[in-house]
Amino acid sequence: MNDRAGDFPTLSAMPRKARAEQDRPPLRPVRLGPPDVLVERRRDGAMLLRSPHPLTPYPKNLTARLDYWAEAQGDRVFLAQRDARGDWRTLSYASTRARVRAIAAALLERELSPQRPIAILSGNDVEHALLALAAMHVGIPYAPISVPYSLMSQDFGKLKAIIGILTPGLVFAAKGTAFARAIAATVPAGVEIVVTANPSPNRPATPFAELLSSEPTPAVAAAHAKVGPDTVGKILFTSGSTGSPKGVINTQRMMCANQAMARAGFLFVSDEPPVLVDWLPWNHTFGSNHNFNFVLDNGGSLYIDEGKPLPGAIEATVRNLRDIAPTIYFNVPKGFEMLLPYLEADRALREKFFSRLKVLFYAGASLSQHVRDALEELAIKTAGERIIFLSSLGSTETAPLAIACSWESERVGNIGLPAPGVDLKLVPREGKLEARLKGANITPGYWRAPELTAAAFDDEGFYKIGDALKFEDPADPAKGLLFDGRLAEDFKLATGTWVSVGPLRAAFIAHCAPLVRDVVLAGADRDEVAALVFPDLDACRKLAPDLASDASAAAVVADPRVVAEFARRLAALAEPSRGTSARVGRAILLTEPPSLDLGEVTDKGSINQRAVLTHRALLVDQLYMNPPPPNVIVAGQSPTPTAKAS
């Protein structure tokens, strides 16, 4: 069955409801792929979904695209980053290729290999990119490792485990002194350390400039010729949101095929090379495989953004966006949320930002509807047009794009349909549809972990991503899919009723916006769902403006006005008509942020629900005490003095 067919050359040609056509300003035209799907229904209740369009050819290795663009558009800016003076330092495609070949020669001299790969401890910068490209160019795997594991952790537990799995032959850290403690605690003495600057006085280090000074040899070309689809390009460690980090093998086939899948959706990149201003970390598949590779594959320009969606760091992103107008803007929902007030307050920034923007793209979590609506209003106010918001679903194991939306959806959360070359199997499970995936973009397994690899695939070779999906319109699969939660997070109440954590968590956060940063839901084998809430303290302070600016977190969450507002919102969310599995009756506002070392939060900010419930078990017990203690907010009840929660 072909649920939707036809060619959609521009979004402005897509059908809309007559009412919406009359009332809404036009959508900026942009060429996207056709939203087509084939659906096969099996007798066992499972469904197979795939695109009717074949995947276009792709190169055998990623750096073939560097060679192509160095020849075709050698002077075009590929990488840019601010230097110590704040000026943009740029590298063209041709100069990048020359540096990559020089570094590759140095790496071959060191006899690095899959048995002795490269570990990169520091974050996004030009040297990181050059080293990574050089390693892949000659078939040496590398692993970019989360920076907080080195700089924020107290015990270096995760870093120790990762270094033990990798057995690296070379470790790179941009600033040696900043990473000195982590290196001393985790990296064996015989492993070479390479730094860009500030070597540690306690550990010999090779200057990065020494790698650059090598002369390319025939061995570089010979090694590159052997790099094929099955060559391991990199090892990306999962964030650990549902367990310990695992080393995901990323082959050249995975990365190259995934870019062909991305091009099938973003047809406009063949009209105009993409320009990105991007902060997303390269130790994650979104920033690395999706965004960095997207620029390289399409001959675009990447302006490395040193900012982050955090107080005190978002200002760097704003500064960069004042300079550079992106053609597509990738971010996590929190990034859009934190950028919004700056766009609202600064017309010049808005005009720059929207001047040539084709697509706004979010992933990693659900975007709040009010944030999307506010950005749409700003685009209309500034440019007279709406800018399409798109999303997708994937994982580190899928390189990452697997399911993607290529049309305007009427509500936030539509993740679209399988990309060309991807087979999606939906398997009925506990009243949900479990998603499983197969395609050239799927990992062959986990680094040095055969048992984990075997458990990740079903008997037909489909990767079990662990997510549940549902159709936006069950009567018309072609209207796309919605995320329906992580299966590992769902639980049963004492009544035997299943609680779908993902949708309820998203509903809670949206309902309590902007007062909530995140929430963990409890209730397994209990009578009702309750919540441990990580509040947005700045937003909560606005409910009590007479509080001192330096008031503690405990004082903020104990303020009767804050408590009353949460009680009111819980009451609205806990209407009896919603059913016990779809409402939250009690909550505790937490004063201590989630712990990285305890595994409560990943380095990208994702909450590990199981870890939070385990490490804060006493608070979970308090949620269900009768009568409730003072720190427990009950839906609809008047506030009482609140004890400190942690």
- The model's pLDDT over 552-580, given as tens digits with 9 standing for 90+, comes to 999 999 999 999 999 999 998 877 667 78
- Domain tally, the chain: 2
Cα–Cα distance between 114 and 168 in angstroms, integer? 9
Position 22 pLDDT exceeds 70: no
Alpha-helix runs per DSSP H in 44-116: 64-72, 93-109
Position 153 pLDDT exceeds 80: yes
Position 412 pLDDT exceeds 90: no
Do 403 and 315 belong together in one domain?
A: yes
Q: Average pLDDT of 340-352?
A: 97
Residues linked to residue 142 through DSSP beta bridges, in sequence order? 118, 234
Please state, for a pLDDT cut of 70, what percent of the chain lies above it: 93
Do 15 and 28 belong together in one domain?
A: yes
Q: Average pLDDT of 488-509?
A: 88
* Average pLDDT along the chain: 91
> What was the pLDDT predicted at 18?
40
Do 271 and 416 belong together in one domain?
A: yes
pLDDT band with cut points at 50, 70 and 90 for residue 363: confident
Residue 227 located in a structural domain: no
pLDDT band with cut points at 50, 70 and 90 for residue 240: low
Do 617 and 569 belong together in one domain?
A: yes
pLDDT band with cut points at 50, 70 and 90 for residue 19: very low
Residue 551 located in a structural domain: yes
Residue 517 backbone dihedrals phi, psi, to 5 degrees: -90, -45
Q: Average pLDDT of 493-506?
A: 88
Do 467 and 499 belong together in one domain?
A: no
Final residue of a structural domain among 462, 485, 508: 485
Single pTM value for the model: 0.87
Residue 473 located in a structural domain: yes
Q: How far is CA 590 from the centre of its chain?
A: 25
Final residue of a structural domain among 463, 485, 507: 485
> What was the pLDDT predicted at 639?
64
pLDDT band with cut points at 50, 70 and 90 for residue 243: low
Residue 279 located in a structural domain: yes
Q: Which of 102-116, 292-306, 632-646 has the lowest mean pLDDT?
A: 632-646
Element (H, E) at 457: none
For 541, other C-beta atoms within 10 Å of its C-beta total 19
Q: Which of 162-171, 199-208, 283-292, 408-417 has the lowest mean pLDDT?
A: 408-417
Do 572 and 621 belong together in one domain?
A: yes
Cα–Cα distance between 198 and 41 in angstroms, integer? 61
Do 360 and 374 belong together in one domain?
A: yes
Do 345 and 416 belong together in one domain?
A: yes
Do 465 and 497 belong together in one domain?
A: no
Do 465 and 509 belong together in one domain?
A: no
Q: Shortest CA distance to 485 belongs to which of 365, 381, 347, 617?
A: 365
Q: Which domain holds residue 392?
A: 1-60+255-485
Residue 178 located in a structural domain: no
Question: CATH number for the domain including 272?
Answer: 3.40.50.12780
Q: Average pLDDT of 256-263?
A: 98
Final residue of a structural domain among 466, 485, 504: 485
pLDDT band with cut points at 50, 70 and 90 for residue 6: very low
Do 615 and 468 belong together in one domain?
A: no
Give the three-class secondary structure for 415.
Answer: strand
Do 13 and 29 belong together in one domain?
A: yes
Position 4 pLDDT exceeds 90: no
> What was the pLDDT predicted at 646?
57
Give the three-class secondary structure for 67.
Answer: helix
> What was the pLDDT predicted at 642?
46
Residue 155 located in a structural domain: no
Strands of the 414-418 sheet, one edge to the other: 2-4, 37-41, 47-50, 422-429, 432-439, 463-471, 481-486, 414-418, 401-404, 388-394, 359-362, 328-331
Residue 131 located in a structural domain: no
DSSP 281-312: -TTSTIIIIIIIHHHHHTT-EEEE----SSTT
- The model's pLDDT over 26-59, given as tens digits with 9 standing for 90+, comes to 999 999 999 999 999 999 999 999 999 999 999 9
According to the per-residue pLDDT averaged within each range, which of 178-187, 504-513, 546-555 is highest?
178-187
Q: Average pLDDT of 501-515?
A: 90
Which has the higher per-residue pLDDT, 271 or 604?
A: 271
Position 244 pLDDT exceeds 70: no
Helices 560-573/501-512 angle, 10° precision: 130
Residue 44 located in a structural domain: yes
Position 9 pLDDT exceeds 70: no
